[in-house]
Amino acid sequence: MKIYSKLGMASLLAASLTACTAPNSLSTQTAADGTYSVKTISSNPKLVTQIGVDRISMGYAGDLKKASIAIKDRWFVSRNFEYKIVWVDASGFEVNPEGSRWKPIQLTGREIKTVQSIAPNPSAVDVVVYLRKD
Amino acid sequence: MKLKLALATTVLTSLVLSGCASTNVSYGDAQSVETLNKDFGSTDLQMIADKMVDDMLTFPVIVQLTQNRRPVMFVDRIRNKTQEHIDTESITDTIQNKLINSGKFRFVDMTSANALAQQLAYQKQSGLVNQATSVKAGGHIGAEYMLNGNLSSIVKNVGGKSDVYYKFTLKLQNVQSGIVEWTSEKEIRKSSKRSAFGL
């Protein structure tokens, strides 16, 4: 019984530690008619209370897709976060793997800051935005 | 008994000391944010390249220009006006890589012009190359546009605090007319603070 209890505690500790560093993500899914839906994956519940994507807009620059992402600090204090924008093609494959980087972003309390990204080439149609704590 | 104890202590001590002196090597994420110190680093390079390419490819004139053709350009150089030794060619290499992979531009590489000339001379003049297979001279395409720019910095140190401001400027210039068709800037500010007692 004691072993189960210890194992449970260890798992809980591991889960809580993972939750501290795990990023949250948001991805778009573009339909054939050009409309897109947004899907959010929250693997870090604490981070959800601190930072989130307020809105996302997609458009075109020629035949290259561009995304504008408004990132919001949900707390009243200034914080440092990191974000990464990954472009994927219509089949869900990452375009230019290893080409997307984590970038630092500083947000003052309740601030909404917009970041933009342009597709690496015309085959990229959707984005996956990752957010994590600095 | 004492001898065994002394031996065991020696072995244990040597193990502990060798453990202290061991070198741990691990791979890191090349895409992660690097903040080891305030000097120009990989994250700065990547942020500059991303911003320049994104700005250029979304600029309406450039969008129109690249609609039906892939203009040819060359990279002149980025003048490093900072006090640091920065490999500015690495920045332009990353920018060039992204622009080529976007399918919007083509480049002529001036750094390999001498090597190309040597190879052409070898094919034509050495008498060793079958002329039916040698490439024709005079087929290079002239670049229409030139990329050049500056990287400057302002550094301030007060007490234990240090602040560095980088400004990267890139220009796209029409070789024939001399007109600057596009320009963009990326600013980066980094601060560092010396910790008390090395903590």
Q: pLDDT tens digits, residue range A18-62?
A: 546 788 888 888 888 888 888 888 888 888 888 989 999 999 999
pLDDT of residue B155: 95
Q: pLDDT tens digits, residue range A78-99?
A: 989 999 999 999 999 999 888 8
Report the complex ipTM. 0.79
Instruction: Please list the residues that pair with B191 across neighbouring strands.
Output: B163
Nearest chain A alpha carbon to B99: A120
Query: Do the chains contact at B31 and A100, CB–CB below 8 Å?
Result: yes
Tell me if A14 is assigned to some domain.
no
B88: CB partners within 8 A, 6+ apart: B77, B78, B79, B80, B151
pLDDT of residue B187: 96
Q: Which domain holds residue A108?
A: 23-133
- The Cα-based distances of B40 to A121, B44, B166 in angstroms read 28, 6, 9
In this model, does residue B143 exceed pLDDT 70? Answer: yes
Query: Do the chains contact at B67 and A116, CB–CB below 8 Å?
Result: no
Distance CA B87, CA B91 (A): 7
Query: Do the chains contact at B58 and A96, CB–CB below 8 Å?
Result: no
- Please, what's the b/e burial string for B22-37 (b: 16 or more CB within 10 A of its CB; e: otherwise)? eeeeeeeeebebbeee
Instruction: Return the C-alpha torsion angle B60, B61, B64, B69, nearest 10.
Output: -130
The total number of structural domains that make up chain A: 1
Instruction: Quote the percentage of chain A above a pLDDT of 90.
Output: 54
In this model, does residue B132 exceed pLDDT 70? Answer: yes
Instruction: Quote the percentage of chain B above a pLDDT of 90.
Output: 75
Tokens 């003049």 correspond to B125
User: Tell me, what CATH number does A27's domain have?
Assistant: 2.60.40.3230
In this model, does residue B12 exceed pLDDT 80? Answer: no
* Residues of chain B contacting residue A96, judged by C-beta atoms under 8 Å apart: 101
The CATH number of the structural domain formed by B39-129+142-194 is 3.40.50
* The token pair that represents A83 in the structure block: 């974000």
In this model, does residue B197 exceed pLDDT 90? Answer: no
A41: CB partners within 8 A, 6+ apart: A24, A25, A26, A27
Mean pLDDT of chain B: 90
> Which of the residues B57, B66, B192 would you substitute to probe the A interface, choosing the one with the greatest number of A C-beta atoms within 10 Å?
B57
Query: Residue B102 is nearest to which of A98, A100, A121, comparing CB atoms?
Result: A121
Tell me if A129 is assigned to some domain.
yes
Q: pLDDT tens digits, residue range B38-92?
A: 899 999 999 999 999 999 999 999 999 999 999 999 999 899 999 999 999 999 9
> Which of the residues B50, B51, B96 would you substitute to probe the A interface, choosing the one with the greatest number of A C-beta atoms within 10 Å?
B50
